[in-house]
C-alpha cells in the first residue's frame, strides 16, 4: 500500500471529528434528541443520528482516495466496486435515518418496509456481480448475487442493530470488527478493500471520542445499519464470508436471544436507585443482560461502561480465535 494513501484516512478522521460538535448542536436545535436510557438523569437529552457525520466522513475519505488513485496513480482499478460500496452505504444510511426520524419508541419502520429498503442497498452489489459465486466448496452460480448477496446485506444490517443501546457499544464493536477485517483483507491481497474498511474504522474512532461513556451523541440506526452493511460488503468483495460469519458470533447469539423474546424485549438494563444496573427480566434476552449477570458475580455495582467493556472483550476473543482457526486462509 502506497504511503500517500494515508491522506484519506487522516482527512476522514479530521472531517468526522470536526463535524460531530456541529451535528450535536444542530440535532438539539431540531429536537432530534433521545433519552440516555441506562442513566438516572433521563431529563438530559442526547443528540441522535450521529451516524450521519460518520457516513459523511467515510464517503469524503473514500472519494479522496478515488481522486488520488485516479489523478496521481493513474489507476481506475476496482473503482466500480468502490462506487458500488459508496452507493450501498448511502442507501442504507438513508434507510437508517428514516427509521431514526420515525423513532424506535414509535415503532420505527415496519419490519416488512425495512427489509424491502435494505434490499435496495444490495442492488449496487448485485448489478456488478460482486464476490465469487463459489463458497465453502459449493458453486452457487446466480444464486449467489441474486439471493446470498442481498441476504448478507439484509442480515448483517438488521442484526448489527440488535446489540446496542449502551454508550459506545455499537461504535467500539464496529471499530474492532472493521479494523480486524482491514488487516485480514490486507493480508489476503485486497489492499484497496483494506483501506476502505480502515477508513470506516477511523471515522468510528473519531465518533467514539464523543459517543463513549458518558455519551454526548448517539449513533442511531443511520450508523448501525451502515456498519452492518459495511461488514457484509467486505465479506462479499473480500471473499471472506466464513471468517466474517465467525466474527459475527456475538450478533448471531444476540439475534437468537432477541428471537427468544419475540423481538419485543429491550436490551436496556434495569436501573437501580444507586445508579447501578441490573438484569431487567427473569430470562436473558440479550448479551447485555448476560454481561450484567456475570459482572454482578464480581462487582456490587455494575455500570454501563462495564457492560460495554465485557462485550468488547468477548468480541476481541472471537477475533483472536478467527485468526487462529482461519490462519491458513489469512496468512
Beta-strand pair 33-35/277-278: unpaired
123: closest CA among 101, 99, 78, 153? 153
3-state DSSP percent of the chain in helix, strand and coil, to 5 = 65, 5, 30
CA distance 160 to 15: 25
CB neighbour list of residue 216: distance below 8 Å, 6 or more residues apart: 24, 46, 47, 210
Query: Can you give the pLDDT at residue 120?
Result: 95
Query: Can you give the pLDDT at residue 144?
Result: 94
237-288 tens-digit pLDDT = 999 999 999 999 999 999 999 999 988 888 999 998 888 999 999 999 999 9
Beta-strand pair 134-135/138-139: antiparallel
Alpha-carbon torsion (161, 165, 170, 171), positive or negative: positive
> In which residue are the cell numbers 470536526 written?
18
Sequence ranges of the domains in the chain: 3-245
CA distance 266 to 302: 18
CA distance 178 to 172: 10
Residues of the chain under the 50 pLDDT cut? none
Amino acid at each position: 500500500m502506497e504511503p500517500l494513501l494515508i491522506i484519506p484516512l487522516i482527512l476522514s478522521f479530521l472531517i468526522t471529528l470536526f463535524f460531530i460538535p456541529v451535528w450535536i448542536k444542530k440535532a438539539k436545535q431540531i429536537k432530534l434528541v433521545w433519552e440516555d436510557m441506562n442513566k438516572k438523569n433521563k431529563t438530559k437529552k442526547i443528540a441522535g443520528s450521529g451516524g450521519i457525520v460518520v457516513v459523511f466522513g467515510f464517503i469524503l475519505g473514500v472519494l479522496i482516495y478515488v481522486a488520488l488513485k485516479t489523478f496521481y496513480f493513474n489507476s481506475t482499478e476496482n473503482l466500480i466496486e468502490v462506487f458500488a460500496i459508496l452507493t450501498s452505504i448511502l442507501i442504507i444510511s438513508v434507510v437508517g435515518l428514516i427509521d431514526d426520524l420515525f423513532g424506535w419508541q414509535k415503532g420505527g419502520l415496519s419490519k416488512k418496509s425495512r427489509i424491502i429498503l435494505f434490499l435496495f442497498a444490495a442492488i449496487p452489489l448485485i448489478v456488478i456481480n460482486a464476490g465469487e459465486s463459489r463458497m465453502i466448496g459449493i458453486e452457487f452460480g446466480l444464486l449467489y448475487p441474486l439471493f446470498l448477496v442481498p441476504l448478507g446485506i439484509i442480515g448483517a444490517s438488521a442484526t448489527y442493530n440488535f446489540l446496542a443501546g449502551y454508550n459506545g457499544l455499537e461504535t467500539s464493536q464496529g471499530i474492532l470488527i472493521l479494523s480486524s477485517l482491514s488487516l485480514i483483507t490486507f493480508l489476503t491481497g485486497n489492499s484497496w478493500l483494506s483501506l476502505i474498511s480502515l477508513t470506516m474504522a477511523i471515522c468510528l474512532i473519531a465518533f467514539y471520542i464523543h459517543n463513549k461513556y458518558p455519551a454526548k451523541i448517539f449513533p442511531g440506526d443511520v450508523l448501525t445499519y451502515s456498519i452492518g452493511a459495511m461488514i457484509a460488503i467486505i465479506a462479499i468483495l473480500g471473499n471472506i464470508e466464513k471468517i466474517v460469519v465467525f466474527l459475527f458470533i456475538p450478533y448471531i447469539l444476540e439475534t437468537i436471544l432477541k428471537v427468544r423474546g419475540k423481538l419485543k424485549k429491550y436490551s436496556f438494563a434495569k436501573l437501580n436507585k444507586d445508579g447501578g444496573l441490573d438484569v431487567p427480566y427473569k430470562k436473558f434476552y440479550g448479551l447485555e443482560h448476560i454481561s450484567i449477570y456475570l459482572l454482578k458475580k464480581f462487582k456490587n455495582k455494575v455500570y454501563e461502561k462495564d457492560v460495554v467493556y465485557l462485550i468488547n472483550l468477548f468480541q476481541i476473543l472471537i477475533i483472536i480465535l478467527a485468526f487462529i482457526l482461519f490462519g491458513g486462509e489469512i496468512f
